[in-house]
Structure 1
């Protein structure tokens, strides 16, 4: 397959490496200093805090070619508009692997609804300069699939083919028939969580402030109560029923855990803030439209 991975951050770099090492014709799109680093050193990978850095020579490009079998987009939510403009004349199916709560319509209107698939990346890690430091595999991450789905929920041959190719490359992909609802549910929970962590100054600081956690829980419940789609996974519905007296201690333990530290919650960069703001705007639009 001829593939373009659009976005050379943690998730895009890891996906490109897996597909490249599986023998696919993969290009990784980047800009500026990131593009220069990729052309000089390839994708540089390190597991956790290991001093060992592995270099993988994935071809890096600044602009897309005219046609691909599949384009995977892994950028921040607030960067999608620029991506849509650059892909309008590029042929090939487009899989958006990112946080997105605005539904498929604005994406399909820009590039053609027949080209569109939705999903969410299952990787995690941080950028240490030009080195991608990814989380060491754990039982949880091995069991957590990368959900991918058609906007209308169908199980199509192209969806089955993408899932099959990803699995062959060692990527734990899974068909998700309610992908749009999954993305909206994810945003309904993660936006208040991310904003509360940033306001507190980090996961551990939020863990030390039970009142702020209770306020965050109220915002999550408001989001879930006004969802325009079913809750997916349905287990998130438990957040509306579990009493604060039980939920607050659970969240405090999570916020103090290594999982929270390595999940990206500690990232208070301008890009992270802008993404949360864009997702919050998308959630408010759906609530207003109800």
Structure 2
């Protein structure tokens, strides 16, 4: 299968590298300075966590989605999707959107064709450290986190099976999710209020020190959460006492994971705003 990873940030670069190392015919689409960097260094430079060991994965890098790709995996932020849709319209091949998204498949299929759309969310995480992609070890991630991929209508199809198999071949615990739209809405109901609260407080630790802001964030999560949530474990946000949920979230906000993973950049603000708009539009 000929693959394209669309988006050369930390997640797109990481997944393209893992797919290349697994022996797949994959290219990575990049733009601007990131394109120049990847071409100059001859691919994606990877390192696990804070390890000094760096490896170069020679993933082919392209500037345009030309080339007859059978599957394009999109890794961009929610507020960047429109530009991606425009560049993929009129082309062939399935498109797997591995993004934060609460608006369902409708707006995506309206531009590129509903029959082309698959939805999912990445499991493996990473960050850009200059020109280097630092990531959490895949062997750990596969035990703790799964990568849901699904048809918008919940069917089990051959192309879904192929997409799951492609990512499982990298060591990622990909799986078919029949309720993928509800899964994405549930995820957005958690991360959008969290992201906006972190930005308003100028960081996760500052938010942890503001109990009133944390309680306000929880109330927004409860407002947006679908019924039933997917996975059902998120139902705890609604049924557990607010004080207990607040204590757990304040502890999380002080953790190294939150400090490293929750930012206040313009890109993160733009994504949180877009997700909040989507949640409001569906009745949250």
TM-score normalised to structure 2 length: 0.95
Answer yes or no: is the 8 Å Cα contact 1:66–1:89 preserved in 2: no
Distance 1:141 1:165, change over 3 A: closer
Task: Name 2:150's counterpart in structure 1.
Answer: 149
For residues 140 and 77 of structure 2, the distance between their equivalents in structure 1, rounded to whole angstroms, comes to 27
CA 1:136–1:258: 2 relative to 1, 3 Å: farther
- Residues 148-178 of structure 1 show CA distances to partners (whole Å, capped at 9, x for unaligned) of 0000000111111211122122221010000
Cα-Cα RMSD: 1.5
Q: CA deviation at 1:60?
A: 0.4
1:194 deviates by 0.9
* Residue among 257, 265, 272 paired with 1:259: 257
* SS of equivalent residue, structure 1 residue 177: coil
> Among residues 263, 267, 270, which one is paired with 2:266 in the alignment?
270
The unaligned stretches of length 5 or more in structure 2 are none
Q: Is the partner of 2:69 in helix, strand or coil?
A: strand
Partner Cα separation in structure 2 for residue 213 and residue 243 of structure 1: 13
Equivalent pair of 1:43/1:58 in contact (CA under 8 Å): yes
Partner of 1:286: 282
Cα deviation 1:125-160 (Å, max 9, x = unaligned)? 211121111124575663211100000000111111
Structure 1 moving runs of 4+ over 6 Å: none
Cα distance in 1, alignment partners of residues 47 and 243 from structure 2: 40
Give the structure 1 partner of residue 25 of structure 2. 25
Match of 1:48 in 2: 49
Q: Deviations over 1:73-94 (max 9, x none)?
A: 0001111100001001221010
1:167, 1:138 → 2: CA distance? Answer: 12
| SS of equivalent to 2:56 | strand
Distance 2:126 2:210 in 1: 26
In the TM superposition, what are the counterparts of 1:77-88 in structure 2 within 5 Å? 77-88=78-89
SS at match of 1:287: coil
Equivalence map 1:23-172=2 (5 Å): 23-41=23-41, 42-136=43-137, 139=140, 142-172=143-173
Gapped regions of structure 1 (runs ≥ 5)? none
Alpha-carbon distance in structure 1 between the residues aligned to 2:204 and 2:183: 24
Structure 1 distance, partners of 2:138, 2:66, is 34
Which of 221, 228, 231 pairs up with 1:230? 228
TM-score normalised by the chain length of structure 1: 0.93
1:12 aligns to what? Answer: 12
